[in-house]
């Protein structure tokens, strides 16, 4: 057995939360073989779709029963505000499991017009053994996005939670067993990236792997896939999402500022779709800066266990140092810190950053190009719609964008012109479960989370050609 462990620490105050083992390469191989044997046995893969759905719906009921516990685990492990976990993360996770359970028998093949003596059709079949590597910022919610379609399709799934945030995912696995999921269908392997994650990426049995996390790690997973069994890889990685405000954006009133604040500072800006770049028409620049900075300054930074907290800590000291360093570098380059820009004394051992708004940023400044994953927003002005699109696209990422305008022409031109997988107009939104979610450019590729298209990540298409003979 592997004796190495990860010591879990609370981002709120550095206190000990326990420890979990680092799953070794040998143990990953054993888990994939166990998953393969379970898949081939048919105990889950050949179960009628509605019977699989019944187990997943029972799992959702058990998650609802343990909602408070699941919220507390993510609050403690990731430093997320407890209110955010109770009202958003856990309910959305339960909804994901229910939605994909109910979609299990709504997958259809196609027939081809191949002639009177031929029946040609396609169908989608599960890969068999699949895996997912999860991020730390939405531990349970991202697990649910993978568990729902992967298991509904009939696969055996191996989950690796992020190093720092395994406990809600481990509890999810326990609830799945309680719901009647057969042994070996869902396995959660805690561990680190270099050991456990690398072994999953290199495993020759795993047929598909979904990864949510950093661009650097995504590249290494692609390399491992190429060197092993060419498993299908889907990647959801970094973002540097623009919020584009046309000259009529102030017509939205308080909805504008509320939406901008949610986009920028949800989960303390530790969100892949965070609207960390505000591009605003020059005619309303000063008014937007004043109102947005004032709203940011009013946000309550506090201990994540406090229901009144709106921004908790960043995940660790290294992140805080990197974020503050980027702010200081921007200030050195001539930027103005309108509000924030420093750590806040909330609890010893935690790293809390005040919501930060920067202006006077050069278009090609490093802070506009790299994902900070913290509560920092830059505001830049533009004159024309074409200039807004140019600034929005002049980055390596293409995950999401928000557009604020009341004019249909502007909305359509911007929505079609911005290079990103998800565009929201008139609000900040990632869409509901009926809408695909996936990035362009260095934000990822290989499939879509959510919607019926999510099943495409976890299944492969087969064509069947049958020649029949008449009497």
* Whether the Cβ atoms of residue 353 and residue 340 lie closer than 8 Å to each other: yes
User: Within the chain, what is the greatest distance between any pair of CA atoms?
Assistant: 86
* Whether the Cβ atoms of residue 163 and residue 136 lie closer than 8 Å to each other: yes
Alpha helices in 203-253 (DSSP H): 215-227
Q: Is 430 a catalytic residue?
A: no
Give the pairing of strands 400-404 and 208-212.
unpaired
What's the CA gap between 341 and 223, in Å, rounded?
A: 38
What's the CA gap between 35 and 31, in Å, rounded?
A: 6
DSSP string across 100-147: HHHTTT----EEE---TTEEEEEEEEE-SEEEEE--SSSHHHHHHHHH
* Whether the Cβ atoms of residue 202 and residue 176 lie closer than 8 Å to each other: no
Neighbours of 416 (CB within 10 A): 9
Q: How many CA atoms lie within 13 A of 273 on its CB side?
A: 22
What's the CA gap between 107 and 122, in Å, rounded?
A: 12
* Whether the Cβ atoms of residue 141 and residue 96 lie closer than 8 Å to each other: yes
- Of the candidates 84, 236, 449, 456, the residue annotated as catalytic is 236
Virtual torsion, Cα 275, 294, 366, 282, nearest 10 deg: 80
Instruction: Look up residue 196 and give its DSSP letter.
Output: I
Q: Is 75 a catalytic residue?
A: no
* Whether the Cβ atoms of residue 38 and residue 156 lie closer than 8 Å to each other: yes
468 CB burial (10 A radius; 0-12, 13-18, 19+): exposed
- Of the candidates 76, 84, 272, 371, the residue annotated as catalytic is 272
List the beta bridge partners of residue 19.
7
Quick check: helix, strand or coil at residue 22?
coil
What's the CA gap between 149 and 141, in Å, rounded?
A: 13
Quick check: helix, strand or coil at residue 301?
strand
Q: 340, 321, 319: which is closest to 331 by C-alpha? A: 340
Q: Which residues form the catalytic set?
A: 236, 272
């Amino acid at each position: 057995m592997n004796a190495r462990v990860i010591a879990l620490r609370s981002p709120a105050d550095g206190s000990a939360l326990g420890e979990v083992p680092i799953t070794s390469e040998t143990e990953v191989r054993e888990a994939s073989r166990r998953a393969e044997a379970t898949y081939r046995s048919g105990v889950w893969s050949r179960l009628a779709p509605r019977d699989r759905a019944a187990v997943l719906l029972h799992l959702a009921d058990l998650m609802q029963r343990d909602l408070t516990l699941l919220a507390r685990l993510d609050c403690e492990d990731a430093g997320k505000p407890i209110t955010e976990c109770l009202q958003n993360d856990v309910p959305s996770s339960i909804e994901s499991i229910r939605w994909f359970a109910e979609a299990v028998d709504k997958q259809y093949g196609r027939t081809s017009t191949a002639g009177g003596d031929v029946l040609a059709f396609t169908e989608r079949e599960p890969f068999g053994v699949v895996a997912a590597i999860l991020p730390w910022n939405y531990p349970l919610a991202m697990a649910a996005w993978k568990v729902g379609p992967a298991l509904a399709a009939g696969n055996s799934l191996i989950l690796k939670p992020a190093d720092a945030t395994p406990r809600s995912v481990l509890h999810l696995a326990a609830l799945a067993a309680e719901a009647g999921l057969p042994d070996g269908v869902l396995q959660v392997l805690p561990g680190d990236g270099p050991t456990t994650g690398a072994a999953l990426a290199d495993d020759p049995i795993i047929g598909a792997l979904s990864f949510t996390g950093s661009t650097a790690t995504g590249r290494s997973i692609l390399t491992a896939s190429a060197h092993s069994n060419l498993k299908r890889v889907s990647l959801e990685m970094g973002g540097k999402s623009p919020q584009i405000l046309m000259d009529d954006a102030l017509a939205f009133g308080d909805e504008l500022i509320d939406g901008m604040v949610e986009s920028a500072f949800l989960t303390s800006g530790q969100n892949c779709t965070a609207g960390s770049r505000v591009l605003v028409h020059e005619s309303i620049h000063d008014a937007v800066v004043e109102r947005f900075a004032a709203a940011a300054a009013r946000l309550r930074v506090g201990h994540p266990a406090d229901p009144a907290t709106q921004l908790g800590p960043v995940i660790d000291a290294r992140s805080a140092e990197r974020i503050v360093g980027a702010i200081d570098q921007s200030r050195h380059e001539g930027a103005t810190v309108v509000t924030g820009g420093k750590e806040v004394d909330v609890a010893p051992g935690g790293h809390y950053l005040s919501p930060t708004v920067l202006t006077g940023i050069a278009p090609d400044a490093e802070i506009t190009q790299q994902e900070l994953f913290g509560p920092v927003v830059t505001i830049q002005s533009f004159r024309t719609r074409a200039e807004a699109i140019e600034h929005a696209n002049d980055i390596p990422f293409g995950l999401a964008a928000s557009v604020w305008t009341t004019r249909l022409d502007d909305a359509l031109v911007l929505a079609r012109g911005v290079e990103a997988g998800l565009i929201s107009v008139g609000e900040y939104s990632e869409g509901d479960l009926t809408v695909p979610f996936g990035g362009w450019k260095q934000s990822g590729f290989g499939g879509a989370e959510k919607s019926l298209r999510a099943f495409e990540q976890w299944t492969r298409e087969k064509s069947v050609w049958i020649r029949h003979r008449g009497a």
